[in-house]
Structure 1
Amino acid sequence: MTMKRIVENAVQAKQEIENLTTQGFTHDDIYIFAHDKKRSDDITDALDTEKVGMKEQGFLDSMKNMFTSRGDELRSKMEAAGLTAEEAADAERELDHGKLVIIAKK
């Protein structure tokens, strides 16, 4: 089961993560995405959520992301976290507007 939430800021993200954990998700099941890499890393660290890495993407996709645009990288990572290509593209457009995307996947 994969759930996607879109929030405006880290305060709303924290509330949404608390809601997801009461629904049975662990912090290891939850991913947060922001268009700005530093913002994404800071929020992920502060809220103790998981980062999409080689485990979720595989070696080749992880390596490919080192040489692609941030948008392509984000869509690839969101797909690895459980979204379809269309859902990832829609979510990436939300990131362009400064929002945060939360994906919870069991």
Structure 2
Amino acid sequence: MGSIGAQSYAKLLENGVQAIEEVNRLRDSGYSKDNIYVISHDQDRENRIADAANTNEVGLGEEGLFGAIANLFRSRGDALRSKITSLGFSPAEAGFYEKELDAGKVLVIAKKYPQ
């Protein structure tokens, strides 16, 4: 998607090891832990990678209360698209990324917030 230094950055990776390497690269380029997210179609896998990489989780701060509650009742694919759009991506981009996640890839997103 964009280059490092842009407001929102996303990269699809083949596995958790690559995702952790990408998180470390993003930290080295100035992104903070609180602004880096790891997303996977498998919730357990996502949690393991996020814990190992020490990244933030998409939650109330990003989705808002309504979005977080709605995700409790959505399919995993719908919830993932909602999370991705809450981080600044269009619905079309979110749909593309969700299909790639369906295929087993891992998505790393970094967002810079105004200081």
TM-score category (smaller protein): over 0.9
Instruction: Please list every run of 5 or more consecutive structure 1 residues that lacks an aligned counterpart in the other structure.
Output: none
Asked if the contact 1:31–1:81 (Cα under 8 Å) also holds between the matched residues in 2, the reply is no
Kept in 2: contact 1:81–1:105 (CA 8 A):
yes
CA RMSD after TM alignment: 0.8
Question: Given that residues 13 and 100 in structure 1 are in contact (C-alpha distance below 8 angstroms), is that contact kept between their aligned partners in structure 2?
Answer: yes
TM-score by length of 2: 0.89
Determine the structure 2 residue equivalent to 1:14.
20
Report runs of 4+ in structure 1 exceeding 6 Å deviation: none
CA contact (8 A) 2:39 2:107 kept: yes
**Using the alignment, how far apart are the partners of 1:46 and 1:21 within structure 2?**
14
Q: How many residues align?
A: 106
The TM-score with structure 1 as length reference comes to 0.96
Determine what percentage of the aligned residue pairs are the same residue.
Answer: 42
Unpaired stretches in structure 2, ≥5 consecutive residues: 1-6
Task: Give 1:81's match in structure 2, choosing from 67, 79, 87.
Answer: 87
